[in-house]
Structures are given as C-alpha cells and as structure tokens.
Amino acid sequence: GWEDLLRSQREYLDEFWDAADVEVEGDPDVQQAVRFGLFHVLQSGARAERRAISAKGLTGPGYDGHAFWDTEGFVLPALIATVPEAAADALRWRHSTLELARERARTLGLSGATFPWRTIGGQECSAYWPAGTAAFHVNADVAVAVERYRIVTGDDSLERDCGLELLVETARLWVSLGHHDSAGAWHIDGVTGPDEYTAVVDDNVFTNLMAAANLRAAAAACTRHPQLAHDFGVTTEEAARWRDAAHSVHIPYDEALGVHPQSQSFTRYGEWDFEQSRNDYPLLLHEPYVRLYRKQVLKQPDLVLAMHWCSEAFTPEQKARNVDYYERRTVRDSSLSACTQAVMCAEVGHLELAHDYVHEAALIDLRDLHHNTANGLHMASLAGTWSALVDGFGGLRVQGERLTLDPQLPAGLTRLAFRMRWHGMRLQVQITGSEVRLSLRDGTEGTLSLLLVGEEVEVAAGAPVTRPWTRRSPLLPRPVQPVGRDPHPRP
C-alpha cells in the first residue's frame, strides 16, 4: 500500500544521502544547488539498464531524449562513487548496444566497435557532422568508465559480465584507427576532441591520451581474465599491439610557447577576434562552424579536460601554463565547461576563479544561465558540480588504482564535506580552512589506504585520520577570459 511505498522510498533516499551528500559552508547557493543536482542525477539513473541516461535526464524534451558521451564522462563518475549499482546498470545498457556499435564500425571501415555520438537505442541518431561523427573519443570514454567502476568499487564482476568485451572491442577500434609513423610514434588522425569548435584534426591530445588509457585497460583486463579474452579471440600478439600503441602514442607539445596544443598545429591557427564577437555568444548561433574550425577558439575545455582525466600525463608547470593559455580562448558555450575549468583552476591555485566556475556550474539551471532550462536540466553540469567540488576543492584523483586527496578551499568556503564509496566502504571527508579529516563509516574490519596531501595514510573504521593542508600559490597570475565571457558573478 501507500505507506509501504512511502517507507521504501524514504529508506532508499536516506541510504542515498548517507552515501552521497555534499556539505558546503560559506556558499548557500552552491549548497542548495549541489543537492538539487545530485537528486536529479540519481533520478536520471533510475532503471538505467533499460535505457540510456539522456543529456536532460527525466526533466524535459531537450535533445529529444538523446544520450551523448556526457553520460560516461560526467554523470557516471558521480554515480560510481555514490550509487555504483546505478552506474553498473548504465554500463550494462551500453553493452546491450554493442552489436549496433560493431555495425557502425563496419560502416566506417573500422574494426571493433564505434559507439554513437548521440543515441536513444544504440543507433547513431546524428547525420554526418564533423564535431560528432569524428568524435571517436566517445569509445574511450565508455572504456575508461568501465575501468573506473572496477577500480573504485573493487568489484570485477561487471568486468567479467560485460566490461571486458567493451574494453576489447573499443581497443580494436583504436588500433584500426591509429597508425605508427616511420619513427615508431603512434598517431590518430582525422578526429574531433571534446571541443566542438575544432573538428577533424590530427593527434588531439585528449583523444590520444584516452585511447592509450583504453588500450592499456583492455590489455590488463585480458591478463586478469585469460579464458574470457580467449573466448573473444584476443591473442597474445593482439594485446601486445595494444600495449605498443599506448606506449608509443604521440602527444604534441609546442616548445616555443611551452604549452600543449589541443591538437597538432592548433597553436599556429589564427586568433579569434573576441572583441568583435563580445555580444554574439553563443558563437554557434552567429558564426558558421567552418570559420570557427580555423581559429583558436574553444566552445568547451578539451586539453584542460585531458589534464583532469589524465592528470599524470602532465607536470604541475605544464598544467599551470596550459590553464593560462586555454582560459583566454574558451568561451564556455557548452554546459560542460565550467565544472571542468573549476577543477583545473583549483589544482593550479586559482581558487577564487575556481569558486566562480563552481557557482556557474551549480546554478546553470536554478538561475537559467543558458536561457534554455525550459527544455530540461543539464545533467552533465549538475553531475559536474559534484566533480568540481570533490575533484576540484577536495583534490580527489584516482591515480593508477590508488585514491588520492589533496584539498584546496577558496577563501569563500569555510568547510566542505563529502561522502563517497570506495571498495564497498563509505568514506567521509571533511575539509576546513586548515585541515582535512577522513573517517570510515562502516564496520570495524574496513581499512583504506590512500595518499592524503602527499602522505601515505591508512584509515580504519573508528580511527579517523586528520592532516593539515596548506594553500598552494599559483605559478602564474589569474588568467583572463575572452571579452564578454567572465564567469557569472557570485553574490
């Protein structure tokens, strides 16, 4: 009856908030918004084994119900850490479309599987479009989500059930798409990265790094499950080719400027006249894409997203210079922008700018900042707000198979606390202006080893760990944004 339904719903939500709540002191707008966002992200993942988690979740008709790479890239990291069973359902749904992805790969003359840019039931629902058809990184986004699920949960049952096949088929795609040059470097040409204002380029750094991660994960998973790998036709020689491609991947670097070009030759493109277009945002409504493709103007973070998701591939100095370079050229015409910029600005020490971006990501729908909330909420930005706070100010990273935390709080926040699951344990993190405290909320047998502010620590149930943290000084001054694209002001 009604009372039973009410009780079960209350118990479910109590369990969710006990594992997922984020507390923000000092910014009541962000506090309200992050809980608003987490609820809708939870709701969007309901029954995800039967349907895709769409860009608008269950909230409106925007994008006609289509799902994009936003799901694996932005929504699943939050779900994996808080409601892992919902994330597993979403990955099982993706696996249920694998045969359609194989057909898509054959249509494009490639091996393995090519997952669609936009879809409802697994078929590609977009006509040819340079920013979509060539966005092969979608496949690595799926694979890396599979790998992240295994690492964070400590559970390899999903990998056995469907994850290994996803890893194998996406690895086969990359080997058929890339090639070695005469010097042995491995390149991927004719692709589009996350930035939709730059299309069909060679050696997009994000794509290359994610493809390499995909290939390494596939090879390692085949070693863990040799019989399954054999059943999928993987030979020792094929896995060796995956490892070789990943090891040899080419990552462009501009020695003169001291930054990574987003893709090969990007830093020699002409500069965009931001002064002339200061009243024309979003640019896609005022400019032909073919003009945007030729200039150094970004719709959303691309190289900066690579630094977040593939953090170990960059030095702190490179991160600082890259953030400075791309902040000046990113117009944030995509709702995927502010959350990523928040994370990386926090890492390089621009904490107030990071706070501005957290506020923008969190309030995108509650303040209708893109003037289109009537079409539905922006699920990736709402989930991205969780990442902006947890990865940005919490300093959470998964390096290899290890959890690391290196917090940084801006002056406007007095306390940040969040909860997450790691290997079945519930970890609570509390950050104040001078220290960080970790505690486990499960039984007496649980012990978690991690890197906290650069120090190896062990947290046991009933034995919390506290360490001081200090604010990092930025290596460079606060960067400026394109004319007319300062972050939305905080109160």
Q: Which domains does the chain have, with CATH numbers?
A: 57-399 (1.50.10.10)
Q: What digits encode the pLDDT tens for the residues 40-94?
A: 999 999 876 788 899 999 999 999 999 999 999 999 999 999 999 999 999 999 9
Tell me the CA distances in angstroms from 249 to 72, 252, 253, 483, one per residue in order. Answer: 23, 10, 13, 36
Encoded tokens for 265: 């030759």
- For residue 134, the model assigns a pLDDT of 97
Of 235, 208, 87, the closest CA to residue 148 belongs to 87
Inform me whether the pLDDT recorded for 337 exceeds 80.
yes
Inform me whether the pLDDT recorded for 35 exceeds 80.
yes
Catalytic residue, candidates 147, 159, 196, 360: 196
- For residue 491, the model assigns a pLDDT of 86
Cis ω on the peptide bond leading into residue 282 (within 30° of 0)?
yes
Q: Mean pLDDT in the chain?
A: 97
Q: Which of 267-276, 295-304, 441-450, 480-489 has the lowest mean pLDDT?
A: 441-450
- For residue 444, the model assigns a pLDDT of 60
CA dist 357 and 243 (Å) reads: 37
Cα-based torsion angle of the residue sequence 196, 201, 202, 205 in order, rounded to the nearest 10 degrees: -20
- For residue 446, the model assigns a pLDDT of 79
The alpha-carbon radius of gyration of the chain (Å, integer) is: 22
Encoded tokens for 16: 């969710």
Tell me the CA distances in angstroms from 25 to 30, 187, 341, one per residue in order. Answer: 9, 46, 21
Q: What digits encode the pLDDT tens for the residues 177-215?
A: 999 999 999 999 999 999 999 999 999 999 999 999 999
Higher-confidence residue of 183 and 442: namely 183
Inform me whether the pLDDT recorded for 218 exceeds 80.
yes
CA dist 469 and 485 (Å) reads: 32
Q: Is 331 exposed, middle or buried (0-12, 13-18, 19+ CB in 10 A)?
A: buried
Q: How do 455-460 and 415-422 pair as beta strands?
A: unpaired
- For residue 48, the model assigns a pLDDT of 64
β-bridge partners, 425: 422
Query: Can you tell me the mean pLDDT for 96-120?
Result: 98
Confidence band of 443 (pLDDT split at 50, 70, 90): low
Of 341, 199, 328, 196, the closest CA to residue 272 belongs to 328
Confidence band of 263 (pLDDT split at 50, 70, 90): very high
Reply yes or no on whether 287 is catalytic: no
Inform me whether the pLDDT recorded for 442 exceeds 90.
no
Q: Is the dihedral of CA 286, 289, 291, 293 positive or negative?
A: positive
Q: What digits encode the pLDDT tens for the residues 282-312?
A: 999 999 999 999 999 999 999 999 999 999 9
Query: Degrees (nearest 5) of the Cα angle 75, 78, 81?
Result: 145
Cα-based torsion angle of the residue sequence 452, 72, 265, 252 in order, rounded to the nearest 10 degrees: 40
Query: Can you tell me the mean pLDDT for 215-244?
Result: 99
Encoded tokens for 58: 């269950």
- For residue 47, the model assigns a pLDDT of 74
- For residue 328, the model assigns a pLDDT of 99
Q: What digits encode the pLDDT tens for the residues 338-374?
A: 999 999 999 999 999 999 999 999 999 999 999 999 9
Q: What end-to-end distance do the CA atoms of the chain give, in Å?
A: 46
- Calculate the CA 481 to chain-centre distance: 22
Q: Is 206 exposed, middle or buried (0-12, 13-18, 19+ CB in 10 A)?
A: buried
Model pTM? 0.98
Q: Are 393 and 407 in contact (CB under 8 A)?
A: yes
- For residue 363, the model assigns a pLDDT of 98
